[in-house]
């Protein structure tokens, strides 16, 4: 929750999140068949909290690069935390990432990330991944699917995301607009 530096290296300091993480992370999954105000409010609550975390990270020059449902953690008091900055990049130190190498989870990658254009990966890429994450949480499947990682990377790099209402026609149109 705080960004600090030590020995010219930034550190992200968060509260102690014990490894019952899978259980708490799964609690972030929304029920795509639910309609109405409740799911709209919960989707908005998750988006707002992730957005605030990203605003702080981006203001400090940090690009997460691996936003996905498994990296959203619901605390015991119901807050949503963005975790696992393991492949994050500090923008001013972009040379730390080798050009042409792809880091992150293919199903949630922005096209420039899937193409390995690491110098183009930035805050907008994280926002794309937030949208792909919300798609998964609301629809129940990733934006892009394939039988191999390479198939998913090709789709992420070149294919439009299927419209929410085409995949889940029962979805409230207001929710589809958010994604």
Supply the residues annotated as catalytic.
Answer: 66
Q: Alpha helix (H) ranges present in 4-114?
A: 21-26, 37-59, 111-114
| DSSP-based three-state secondary structure for 159 | coil
126-160 burial: b if 16+ Cβ within 10 Å, else e: bbbbbbbbbbbbbbeebbbeeeeeeebbbbbbeee
Please give the Cα distance from 175 to 69 (Å, whole number). Answer: 17
């Amino acid at each position: 929750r705080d960004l600090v530096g030590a020995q010219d290296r930034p550190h992200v300091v968060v509260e102690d999140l014990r490894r019952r993480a899978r259980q708490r992370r799964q609690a972030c999954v929304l029920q795509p068949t639910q309609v109405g105000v409740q799911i709209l409010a919960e989707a908005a609550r998750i988006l707002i909290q992730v957005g605030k975390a990203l605003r702080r990270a981006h203001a400090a020059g940090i690009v997460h690069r691996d936003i996905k449902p498994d990296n959203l953690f619901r605390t015991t008091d119901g807050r949503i935390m963005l975790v696992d900055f393991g492949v994050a990049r500090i923008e001013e130190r972009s040379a730390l990432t080798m050009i042409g190498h792809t880091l992150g989870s293919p199903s949630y990658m922005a096209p420039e990330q899937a193409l390995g254009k690491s110098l183009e990966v930035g805050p907008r890429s994280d926002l794309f991944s937030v949208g792909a994450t919300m798609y998964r949480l609301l629809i129940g499947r990733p934006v892009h699917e394939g039988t191999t990682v390479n198939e998913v990377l090709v789709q992420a790099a070149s294919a439009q995301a299927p419209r929410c209402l085409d995949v889940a026609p029962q979805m409230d149109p207001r929710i589809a607009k958010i994604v």
